[in-house]
Structure 1
Amino acid sequence: MGTQVSDLPCDGDGVCMACKSKPLENESLICNTCATPWHVACLSVRPESMSDAVRWECPDCSPPVTEDIHLAVKPAPVVQASSSAGDLIAEIRAIEADEALTDREKAKKRQELLSGGAKAVDADSEKKNGCGNNEVLNLLDESLNCSICMQLPDRPVTTPCGHNFCLKCFGKWVGQNKLTCANCRAAIPHKMASQPRINSALVMAIRMAKLSKQNVSEGTSRTYHLIHNQNRPDKAFTTERAKKSGKSNAASGKIFVTIPKDHFGPIPPEHDPQRNLGVLVGESWEDRLECRQWGAHFVHVAGIAGQGDYGAQSVALSGGYVDDEDHGEWFLYTGSGGRDLSGNKRTNKDQAFDQKFERGNEALRVSCRKGYPVRVVRSFKEKRSSYAPEKGVRYDGIYRIEKCWRKDGIQGYKVCRYLFVRCDNEPAPWTSDHIGDRPRPLPIIKELKSGAIDITERKGDPAWDFDEEKGCWLWKRSPPASRMPNCEMDEDGNVVKKVKSSKKKVSMKERLLKEFSCLICRKVMVDPLTTPCAHNFCKACLEASFTGQSFMKQRTCGGRRTLRTQKNVMGCPSCKNDISDFLQNPQVNRELMAIIESLQSKVEEENMETSEVNVNSDGVDEEGSEEIEEGCDEENKEICDMDEDNMKNTTVDKVENLTSEDKPSLKRKLGTKGKNNEATGEVKKTK
Structure 2
Amino acid sequence: MQLVVRLFSNVSTAIDNLMAHVSNNLPCDAEGLCMVCKQLPPEGEILTCQTCAAPWHVACLASPPESPHNVADWSCPDCTDLSVDGARPSAIASSGGLIEKIRAIESDASLTDAEKARRRQELLSGGGADQKTEEGGSWEILGDKFNCSICMQILDRPVTTPCGHNFCLKCFQKWIAQQRTNTCAICRKAIPAKMAKEPRINSAMVMAIRMAKLAEPSSTGGTQRAYHVIHNHDRPDKAFTTNRAKKAGKANACSGKIFVTVPLDHFGPITAENDPTRNRGVLVGDSWEDRMECRQWGAHFPHIAGICGQADHGAQSVALSGGYVDDEDHGDWFLYTGSGGRDLSGNKRTNSKQSFDQKFESFNEALRISCRQGYPVRVVRSHKEKRSSYAPEEGVRYDGIYRIEKCWRKTGAERFKLCRYLFVRCDNVPAPWTSDIHGDHPRSSVPVVEELTEATDITERQGNPAWDYNEHEGRWLWKKPPPESRKVRGELNGDGNGNGTKKRKRQHHNKSTKQRLLKEFSCLICRKVMALPVTTPCAHNFCKACLEGAFAGQSFVKERTCGGTRKLRAQKTVMQCPSCQNDISDFLQNPQVNREMKDMIESLQNEVNEESSKAEAAENGMSAGAENADRAMNEY
Q: TM-score range by the shorter chain?
A: 0.5 to 0.7
Unaligned runs of 5+ in 1: 1-5, 23-27, 36-79, 92-108, 342-346, 450-454, 642-687
Distance 1:377 1:556 in 2: 68
What is the match of residue 50 of structure 1? Answer: none
C-alpha offsets along residues 289-340 of structure 1, whole Å, 9 cap, x if unaligned? Answer: 3212221222335555444544443455668x7x775433224343399655
Query: Does the 8 Å contact 1:335/1:361 carry over to 2?
Result: no
What is the match of residue 592 of structure 1? Answer: 597
**3-state SS, counterpart of residue 165 of structure 1:** strand
Distance 1:598 1:463 in 2: 58
**3-state SS, counterpart of residue 260 of structure 1:** coil
- Tell me how far 1:155 sits from its aligned partner: 0.5
Q: For residues 613 and 244 of structure 1, do their structure 2 counterparts lie closer, same or farther at Cα, with a shift above 3 Å needed?
A: same
Q: For residues 610 and 177 of structure 1, do their structure 2 counterparts lie closer, same or farther at Cα, with a shift above 3 Å needed?
A: same
* Structure showing greater relative contact order (alpha-carbon pairs closer than 8 Å, 6 or more residues apart): 2
Residue 514 in structure 1 maps to residue 510 in structure 2:
no
Q: For residues 287 and 122 of structure 1, do their structure 2 counterparts lie closer, same or farther at Cα, with a shift above 3 Å needed?
A: farther
Residue identity in the other structure for 1:165: F
Residue identity in the other structure for 2:539: A
Distance 1:318 1:335 in 2: 15
**3-state SS, counterpart of residue 423 of structure 1:** strand
Distance 1:571 1:409 in 2: 39
1:439 paired residue among 431, 446, 455: 446
Q: For residues 302 and 549 of structure 1, do their structure 2 counterparts lie closer, same or farther at Cα, with a shift above 3 Å needed?
A: farther
Residue 253 in structure 1 maps to residue 257 in structure 2:
yes
What is the match of residue 132 of structure 1? Answer: 133
Residue 199 in structure 1 maps to residue 202 in structure 2:
yes
What is the match of residue 368 of structure 2? Answer: 368
Residue 602 in structure 1 maps to residue 602 in structure 2:
no
- Tell me how far 1:118 sits from its aligned partner: 1.0
What is the match of residue 423 of structure 2? Answer: 422
**3-state SS, counterpart of residue 419 of structure 1:** strand
**3-state SS, counterpart of residue 513 of structure 1:** helix
**3-state SS, counterpart of residue 116 of structure 1:** helix
1:144 paired residue among 143, 146, 167: 146
Distance 1:220 1:519 in 2: 26
Q: For residues 154 and 204 of structure 1, do their structure 2 counterparts lie closer, same or farther at Cα, with a shift above 3 Å needed?
A: same
Distance 2:146 2:450 in 1: 64
Query: Does the 8 Å contact 1:336/1:361 carry over to 2?
Result: no
Distance 1:573 1:463 in 2: 53
- Tell me how far 1:598 sits from its aligned partner: 1.6
**3-state SS, counterpart of residue 210 of structure 2:** helix
Residue identity in the other structure for 1:285: W
**3-state SS, counterpart of residue 394 of structure 1:** strand
Q: For residues 197 and 504 of structure 1, do their structure 2 counterparts lie closer, same or farther at Cα, with a shift above 3 Å needed?
A: closer
Distance 1:576 1:418 in 2: 40
What is the match of residue 393 of structure 1? Answer: 396
Residue identity in the other structure for 1:164: N
Residue identity in the other structure for 1:131: K
C-alpha offsets along residues 137-183 of structure 1, whole Å, 9 cap, x if unaligned? Answer: 24424322335545422111234554322222333455546455555
Residue identity in the other structure for 2:157: R
Query: Does the 8 Å contact 1:326/1:387 carry over to 2?
Result: no
Q: For residues 324 and 472 of structure 1, do their structure 2 counterparts lie closer, same or farther at Cα, with a shift above 3 Å needed?
A: farther
- Tell me how far 1:599 sits from its aligned partner: 1.8
Unaligned runs of 5+ in 2: 1-5, 25-101
Distance 1:7 1:82 in 2: 41
**3-state SS, counterpart of residue 262 of structure 2:** coil
1:116-195 alignment, distance < 5 Å: 116-122=116-122, 124=125, 126=127, 130-133=131-134, 134-175=136-177, 176=179, 178-179=181-182, 181-183=184-186, 188=191, 191-195=194-198
Distance 1:197 1:406 in 2: 51
1:437-476 alignment, distance < 5 Å: 439-441=446-448, 444=451, 458=459, 461=462
Q: For residues 590 and 129 of structure 1, do their structure 2 counterparts lie closer, same or farther at Cα, with a shift above 3 Å needed?
A: same
Q: For residues 252 and 215 of structure 1, do their structure 2 counterparts lie closer, same or farther at Cα, with a shift above 3 Å needed?
A: same
Distance 2:196 2:614 in 1: 47
Residue identity in the other structure for 1:116: K
- Tell me how far 1:198 sits from its aligned partner: 1.7
Residue identity in the other structure for 1:16: S
1:468-487 alignment, distance < 5 Å: 479-484=482-487
Q: For residues 324 and 607 of structure 1, do their structure 2 counterparts lie closer, same or farther at Cα, with a shift above 3 Å needed?
A: farther
1:525-674 alignment, distance < 5 Å: 525-538=530-543, 574-575=579-580, 587-614=592-619, 620=625, 637=633, 639-641=634-636
Distance 2:236 2:414 in 1: 43
Distance 1:576 1:385 in 2: 50
**3-state SS, counterpart of residue 421 of structure 1:** strand
Q: For residues 82 and 209 of structure 1, do their structure 2 counterparts lie closer, same or farther at Cα, with a shift above 3 Å needed?
A: closer
Residue identity in the other structure for 2:515: E
Distance 2:263 2:151 in 1: 56
Distance 1:279 1:334 in 2: 26
Residue identity in the other structure for 2:394: K
2:290 paired residue among 265, 287, 290: 287
Distance 1:391 1:159 in 2: 62
C-alpha offsets along residues 222-257 of structure 1, whole Å, 9 cap, x if unaligned? Answer: 58665465x87654479xxx875997463421422x
**3-state SS, counterpart of residue 132 of structure 1:** helix
Distance 1:390 1:557 in 2: 72
Q: For residues 546 and 84 of structure 1, do their structure 2 counterparts lie closer, same or farther at Cα, with a shift above 3 Å needed?
A: closer
- Tell me how far 1:525 sits from its aligned partner: 4.0
Query: Does the 8 Å contact 1:370/1:458 carry over to 2?
Result: no
C-alpha offsets along residues 333-391 of structure 1, whole Å, 9 cap, x if unaligned? Answer: 433996559xxxxx98867xx99999x95243244256365545454567798876543
What is the match of residue 656 of structure 1? Answer: none
Distance 1:117 1:618 in 2: 56
What is the match of residue 212 of structure 1? Answer: 215
What is the match of residue 684 of structure 1? Answer: none
Distance 2:529 2:612 in 1: 17
Query: Does the 8 Å contact 1:324/1:333 carry over to 2?
Result: no
Query: Does the 8 Å contact 1:197/1:534 carry over to 2?
Result: yes
Residue identity in the other structure for 2:142: L
What is the match of residue 264 of structure 1? Answer: 267
Query: Does the 8 Å contact 1:260/1:484 carry over to 2?
Result: yes
Residue 16 in structure 1 maps to residue 12 in structure 2:
yes
Q: For residues 501 and 520 of structure 1, do their structure 2 counterparts lie closer, same or farther at Cα, with a shift above 3 Å needed?
A: closer
Which sits farther off after the overlay, 483-492 or 153-162?
483-492
C-alpha offsets along residues 584-633 of structure 1, whole Å, 9 cap, x if unaligned? Answer: 765554432322222232233334444445555668188xx5x667xx7x
Residue identity in the other structure for 1:146: C
Distance 1:408 1:195 in 2: 54
1:242-391 alignment, distance < 5 Å: 248=252, 250-256=254-260, 258-267=261-270, 271-272=274-275, 278-301=281-304, 304-316=307-319, 325-328=326-329, 329-335=334-340, 339=344, 362-368=362-368, 371=371, 373=375, 374-380=377-383, 389-391=392-394
State the TM-score, normalizing by the size of structure 1: 0.56
Q: For residues 600 and 125 of structure 1, do their structure 2 counterparts lie closer, same or farther at Cα, with a shift above 3 Å needed?
A: farther
Q: For residues 403 and 139 of structure 1, do their structure 2 counterparts lie closer, same or farther at Cα, with a shift above 3 Å needed?
A: same
Q: For residues 366 and 435 of structure 1, do their structure 2 counterparts lie closer, same or farther at Cα, with a shift above 3 Å needed?
A: closer
Query: Does the 8 Å contact 2:425/2:440 carry over to 1?
Result: no
Q: For residues 586 and 115 of structure 1, do their structure 2 counterparts lie closer, same or farther at Cα, with a shift above 3 Å needed?
A: closer
Q: For residues 83 and 193 of structure 1, do their structure 2 counterparts lie closer, same or farther at Cα, with a shift above 3 Å needed?
A: closer
Query: Does the 8 Å contact 1:309/1:363 carry over to 2?
Result: no
State the TM-score, normalizing by the size of structure 2: 0.60
Query: Does the 8 Å contact 1:314/1:375 carry over to 2?
Result: yes
